[in-house]
Amino acid sequence: MGSLKKNGGATLSKIATSDQHGENSEYFDGWKAYDKDPFHLSRNPHGIIQMGLAENQLCIDLIKDWIKENPKASICTPEGIHQFDDIANFQDYHGLKEFRQAIAHFMGKARGGRVKFDPERIVMSGGATGANETIMFCLADRDDVFLVPSPYYAAFDRDLRWRTGVEIIPVQCSSSNNFKLTVEAVEWAYQKAQESNKKVKGLILTNPSNPLGTMLDKDTLKNLVRFVTSKNIHLVVDEIYAATVFTGGNFVSVAEVVNDLDRFEVNVDLIHIVYSLSKDMGLPGFRVGIVYSYNDLVVSCARKMSSFGLVSTQTQLMLASMLSDDRFVDNFLKESSRRLGIRHGVFTLGLKKVGITCLSSDAGLFVWMDLRHLLRDRNSFESEIELWRIIINVVKLNVSPGSSFNCTEPGWFRVCFANMDDDTLHVALGRIQDFVSKNNNKISEKAMDNNDQVIQNNNAKKQKWRQSNLRLSFRRLYEDGLSSPGIMSPHSPLLRA
């Protein structure tokens, strides 16, 4: 894209104007469409429902209740105003001591109390976005490579690459084994990178996975730790969904694995964790990101860099008090898991009623929805984007296509279910069910008129015929919908692929 001249010839930087930010993708285009026509139950009931934002709003009432009961935790209340001078003036690369202690304590609780974290290794950053970029700056130079299992978080291209110049090479995973990551797949990607004369600096994992909602088991994690140790490359584990597990299973942190392995099996200087309070606590607006490293040099370097993304001391003070309240934290984690499980169950059951399945998952604020059977061409990413545009423009739901997560198979979509109230969720489910059911009914009627004998004698052919016509029906609905008033053109820059 190069540089851009404007405002009397002032030249912007190549970094600022490059397309490496990744904003020109369907993941962000869906957000833009929602921003232009946001759904509201009463003010705009026909607007687009935001299901592309992985936000946890299911327990915000518990946090608000705690704030009301603990006015001393804020410098903006009569009870806490006496702390104003110190907190307003203090800022340090290390952060408030009580804040780092509380974060370390909470990280242990969020992992079931099976591991402890050292407050002296806690480094602040502006959300997980800032934490991921910080760790890249610490570990890699421009054009160095990190391996990342796919599908992976759509904004990783921005977080990891945009300003650092680091390159991402996907480790391909597929639906044939439910997208399970294997050491063999990592080894293959590593060897391919080596053959291309790429300098591989490390492996990045999201555990629990975004967008899959799956968790890595302990044996797989151990083998991956052994792998990076044998290759002398770094392992960065993004654990920002650690406390969103809703199945009753145990999330295994890489910190547990580090403790379990023999010192000859793991080089702890290569192990780093990214964390935040955006997902587990539902506080993305507070911009609390954490780099936790077992490497003293990385901790020191990251702390210097944290001056570009420190957490305000006002935020630190309040969270230090909240996260030190064991009674509150224990109840919050338990209730959050319970509510996420209920919401996940309601949503997936609603999808099953119209024949839509999702990848089996244990955690996260989303599902990995399988719509491959609805594609006009099952092997075409163009068909995936075509269906995505229907869902945005006709069904009025912002969901994210799998291609924006670097998925190698067309037809998968990430759908977020925890960022809305119950009423909005039911509206969203109703839209999906109506959309699919109406098309199924049309196909059934046509099948009865034209293919009675074929249907009676050959169920397999019937199913294939139904799916084929369903895809055509979606195609016609898309074309009809785009010609209707108020529906965006497929050539709109907002929806351009």
Query: Rounded CA gap, 427 and 351, in Å?
Result: 13
Query: Rounded CA gap, 463 and 190, in Å?
Result: 42
Instruction: Indicate the domain borders of the chain.
Output: 5-55+365-482, 61-326
Is 50 exceeded by the pLDDT of residue 229? yes
Backbone phi and psi for residue 386, each to the nearest 5 degrees, phi listed first: -60, -45
- The reply to whether 294 belongs to the active site is no
Mean pLDDT of 221-229: 96
pLDDT of residue 149: 96
Mean pLDDT of 168-196: 95
CA angle 29, 181, 410 (to 5 degrees): 40
Residues 250, 254, 260, 263: what is their CA dihedral angle, to the nearest 10 degrees? 180
Query: Rounded CA gap, 251 and 208, in Å?
Result: 8
CATH 3.40.640.10 fits 61-326, yes or no: yes
User: What is the per-residue pLDDT across 286-300, written as a single tens digit (0 to 9) for each?
Assistant: 899 999 999 999 999
Mean pLDDT of 447-451: 48
pLDDT of residue 439: 64
Backbone phi and psi for residue 271, each to the nearest 5 degrees, phi listed first: -110, 130
Instruction: Give the Cβ contact number of residue 479 at 10 Å.
Output: 11
Q: Among 10-19, 109-118, 407-416, which is the least confidently predicted range?
A: 10-19
User: What is the per-residue pLDDT across 459-478, written as a single tens digit (0 to 9) for each?
Assistant: 554 455 344 444 444 444 44
User: What is the per-residue pLDDT across 438-447, written as a single tens digit (0 to 9) for each?
Assistant: 766 554 454 4
Is 90 exceeded by the pLDDT of residue 448? no
Q: For the whole model, what pTM was predicted?
A: 0.85
Three-class SS state of 493: coil
Mean pLDDT of 380-407: 94
Same fold, 5-55+365-482 and 61-326: no
Q: Given CA atoms 466, 467, 472, 475 in this order, what sign does their dihedral have?
A: positive
Residue 335's Cβ-count burial label (10 Å; 0-12, 13-18, 19+) is middle
pLDDT of residue 445: 52
pLDDT of residue 360: 96
pLDDT, greater one: 342 or 156: 342
Is 50 exceeded by the pLDDT of residue 305? yes
pLDDT of residue 441: 57
Q: Which residues of 97-107 are buried (b: 16+ CB within 10 A; e: fewer)?
A: ebbbbbbbbbb
Backbone phi and psi for residue 231, each to the nearest 5 degrees, phi listed first: -95, -5
Mean pLDDT of 328-338: 97
Is 60 exceeded by the pLDDT of residue 449? no
Query: Rounded CA gap, 322 and 286, in Å?
Result: 14
Confidence tier at 49 by pLDDT (50, 70, 90) = very high
Widest pairwise Cα distance in the chain: 84
pLDDT of residue 478: 43
Query: Rounded CA gap, 82 and 449, in Å?
Result: 80
Q: Among 87-101, 185-199, 269-283, which is the least confidently predicted range?
A: 87-101
Query: Rounded CA gap, 75 and 66, in Å?
Result: 15
Percent of the chain scoring above 70 in pLDDT: 85
Mean pLDDT of 361-381: 94
pLDDT of residue 7: 46
Of these residues, 29, 157, 159, 238, which one is catalytic?
A: 238
Mean pLDDT of 44-68: 95
Mean pLDDT of 354-377: 94
Is 60 exceeded by the pLDDT of residue 262? yes
pLDDT of residue 227: 97
- Pair of tokens at residue 461: 């052919």
Backbone phi and psi for residue 205, each to the nearest 5 degrees, phi listed first: -120, 150
- The reply to whether 392 belongs to the active site is no
DSSP conformation class of 82: G
Is 90 exceeded by the pLDDT of residue 15? no
Cβ–Cβ < 8 Å for 176, 164: no
pLDDT of residue 22: 63
Mean pLDDT of 382-407: 94
Of these residues, 48, 49, 75, 240, which one is catalytic?
A: 240
pLDDT of residue 155: 87
Is 80 exceeded by the pLDDT of residue 221? yes
Is 70 exceeded by the pLDDT of residue 169? yes
Confidence tier at 488 by pLDDT (50, 70, 90) = very low
Q: Which helix (H) or strand (E) holds 167?
A: strand 167-172
pLDDT of residue 161: 84
pLDDT of residue 5: 45
Of these residues, 153, 292, 294, 478, which one is catalytic?
A: 153
Is 60 exceeded by the pLDDT of residue 273? yes
| Intra-chain end-to-end CA distance of the chain, in Å | 17
pLDDT of residue 86: 80
Tell me the average pLDDT of the chain: 86
pLDDT of residue 298: 96
Q: Among 140-149, 313-322, 340-349, which is the least confidently predicted range?
A: 313-322
Query: Rounded CA gap, 431 and 396, in Å?
Result: 8
- The reply to whether 455 belongs to the active site is no
Of these residues, 222, 279, 280, 392, which one is catalytic?
A: 279
**For the structural domain made of 5-55+365-482, what CATH number should be given?**
3.90.1150.10
